[in-house]
Every structure is written in C-alpha cells, then in structure tokens.
C-alpha cells in the first residue's frame, strides 16, 4: 500500500521533474512569503493534513495553518488555510497541495450529499474499492470525512465471495465451506447474490453478510424479509442518491455506493500569495 509520504513524493516528482524552471529563475532562494488557500465554491473540506505535508516535504520550516478541520463545511470565498515560509517552496508545492485538497474535498462533498439525503435513517452508507489506483487510503479517508463509512480496504481485510468465486468453487455452499476452514473464526463471511434462491443458499451455508447485487426494489424487500435479521443485508449495484431512502426503508443494513469515489468531481479552490519580503 502506498504511504501518504510516497504519494506526495510521486506527485511532486511528476509535477517538478528536475525543477521548477519558472520559479527557480524568478524567485530568490531565500525569499519568504505567505499564501492563503481560498474556496471558490462551497464544499466539505478534506485533505488538510496532506496539503500541509506537501509544503513540509519541500521545506521543513514552512508553517501550514489550517482554518478548518477536515469534515467542516466551507463557504465560497472563505480562507481554508494559510501557509508561510520559503517562497520557492510555496510555489513549488501549490498545485500538488491543491490537487490533493480538491480531489479529497470533492469526495467528502459528494459523500455528504448522500449522507444528508439519508438524514437519520438507521442504515450504514459505505464506499467500494472503486478508487483511484494508489489513492485508496486517502479517498477512503475522505469518505469518512464526508460522514460515511468504509467497506473493506482491499482484498486482504474482508471475505467477499462474489459470482466468479461461486462459479470457480461450484456453488455457494462449497465456497463458504472451503473458506470457513481457512480463515479465522473472527472473520465475517459475506456472499454476493443476485436472486432469492441464492439468498436462501447463502443463509443455509452460514453467511454472516449477504450482498444483494443489482436487485430491484421488490426483490430487495423480499430478500430482506426472508433474511429477517439472521444476517446483515447489504445492497450494491448502480445505487443512486434518489434510491437511498427507499432502500433504507426496505430493511437493509448497509448500502454500498461506488459513486462516492469514482464519480466525485474535484471542487474549486485556489492559492493566492499575499505577502513576500
């Protein structure tokens, strides 16, 4: 898994290459400056610590001063953070820091709109593994900043028996029986199903979580009624914001939405140099 520090290194190397040909030829190396990051639209902020680490990576003496905390709502025109120190470092890191902030805040803002739609319904909204390669730890953090929850982080930390696993093993019971003997008794087993018959097979096999994949609302209601709280019920597959309340009312426990990450747009913000000595 990529560490945040490694992601910052990759991003800066991608942007700067062998150096900043503009800044390095225009700005004296010892010049100090101050910049402010401004919201150009309303959004939920996420990624402030990462943005600060970008500038610190370039110059350890840079001071990054966030005005908000991740998860806060920021209005258009408000100052998000200030950054002070070596002016070259501020200019070198400007775009990379903003890229992290814009992407992660975009996800947090998208997530918050889904959370607000659900209001106080007793259902857990979760993300999926549909994330930007290399950015998963950050994007899933942004999901939490937006007020939702994470599904498994990767293939390593949760059992999810999908249709291709079922086909490879020759059926749901065979798949569940095989994995039950190979993982810890503390690990829950989730099975993806697409019909009521498969729901029955998964329950009989002892699945603790049943994912209803791409079912219509009537099928979901019927399945949830049949399961009757004997397993957790997750719904997944082309879930839109307008579906959330009807799904929550259908008796499900978890709603997973890939769009929280894969369809979130970057929000708009900019950094302005205020002073330079």
What is the spatial distance between Cα 107 and Cα 139, in angstroms, rounded to a whole number? 7
- 130, 144, 152, 200: which one is catalytic? 130
59 to 27, 100, 245: CA distances (angstroms): 15, 18, 48
Whether pLDDT at 240 is above 50 = yes
What is the spatial distance between Cα 240 and Cα 246, in angstroms, rounded to a whole number? 11
- 95, 124, 152, 180: which one is catalytic? 95
pLDDT in tens, 106-121: 999 999 999 999 988 9
> What are the structure tokens assigned to 276, written together?
């330079």
**Is-contact 136 6, C-beta < 8 A?**
no
**Unique residue bearing structure tokens 């990462």:** 50
pLDDT in tens, 123-160: 999 999 999 999 999 999 999 999 999 999 999 999 99
- Residue 130 appears among annotated catalytic residues: yes
**pLDDT recorded at residue 275:** 63
Whether pLDDT at 269 is above 50 = yes
In this prediction, residue 262 has a pLDDT band, given cuts at 50, 70 and 90, of: very high
Whether pLDDT at 41 is above 70 = yes
- 84, 94, 139, 192: which one is catalytic? 192
**pLDDT recorded at residue 1:** 45
Backbone φ and ψ for 33, nearest 5 degrees, come out as -160, 175
What is the spatial distance between Cα 150 and Cα 163, in angstroms, rounded to a whole number? 22
> What are the structure tokens assigned to 35, written together?
């910049």
**pLDDT recorded at residue 274:** 78
Measure the CA angle with vertex 151, ends 1 and 129; round to 5°: 55
What is the spatial distance between Cα 124 and Cα 57, in angstroms, rounded to a whole number? 37
- Residue 121 appears among annotated catalytic residues: no
- Residue 13 appears among annotated catalytic residues: no
What is the spatial distance between Cα 96 and Cα 103, in angstroms, rounded to a whole number? 11
Domains assigned to the chain? 4-115+265-276 (3.90.1170.20), 119-262 (3.20.20.70)
What is the spatial distance between Cα 26 and Cα 149, in angstroms, rounded to a whole number? 46
**pLDDT recorded at residue 120:** 81
Written in H, E and C, the secondary structure of the chain is CCCHHHHHHHHHHHHHCCCCCCHHHHCCCCCEEEEEEEECCCEECCCHHHHHHHHHHHCCCCEEEECCCCCCEECCCCEEEEEEEEHHHHHHHHHHHHHHHHHHHHHHHHHHHHHHHHCCCCCEEECCCCCCCCCHHHHHHHHHHHCCECCCCCCCCCEEECHHHHHHHCCHHHHHHHHHCCCCCCCCEEEEECCHHHHHHHHHHCCCEEEEECCCHHHHHHHHHHHCCCCEEEEECCCCHHHHHHHHHCCCCEEECCHHHHCCCCCCEEEEEEEEC
Percent with pLDDT over 70 in the chain: 98
Query: What number of CA atoms fall less than 13 Å from residue 276's CA on the CB side?
Result: 14
**pLDDT recorded at residue 44:** 98
- 70, 213, 234, 253: which one is catalytic? 213
């Amino acid at each position: 898994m990529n560490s945040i520090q490694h992601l910052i290194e990759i991003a800066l190397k991608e942007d700067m290459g062998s150096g900043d040909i503009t800044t390095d030829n225009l700005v004296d190396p010892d010049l100090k400056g101050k910049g402010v990051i401004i919201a150009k639209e309303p959004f939920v902020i996420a990624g402030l610590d990462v943005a600060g680490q970008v500038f610190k990576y370039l110059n350890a003496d840079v001071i990054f001063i966030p005005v908000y905390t991740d998860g806060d709502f920021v209005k258009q025109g408000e100052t998000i953070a200030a950054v002070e120190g070596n002016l070259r470092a501020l200019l070198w890191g400007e775009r990379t820091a903003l890229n992290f902030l814009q992407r992660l805040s975009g996800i947090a803002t998208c997530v918050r709109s889904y959370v607000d739609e659900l209001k106080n319904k007793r259902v857990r909204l979760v993300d999926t593994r549909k994330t930007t390669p290399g950015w998963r730890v950050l994007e899933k953090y942004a999901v939490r900043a937006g007020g939702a929850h994470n599904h498994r982080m990767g293939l390593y930390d949760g059992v999810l028996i999908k249709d291709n696993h079922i086909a490879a093993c020759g059926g749901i019971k065979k798949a569940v029986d095989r994995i039950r003997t190979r993982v810890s008794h503390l690990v829950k087993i989730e099975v993806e199903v697409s019909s009521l018959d498969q729901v029955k097979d998964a329950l009989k096999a002892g699945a603790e979580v049943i994912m209803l994949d791409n079912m219509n609302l009537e099928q979901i209601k019927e399945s949830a009624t049949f399961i009757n709280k004997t397993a957790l019920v997750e719904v997944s597959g082309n879930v839109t914001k307008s579906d959330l309340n009807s799904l929550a009312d259908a008796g499900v426990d978890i709603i997973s939405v890939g769009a929280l990450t894969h369809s979130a747009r970057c929000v708009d913000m900019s950094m302005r140099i205020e002073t330079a000595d």
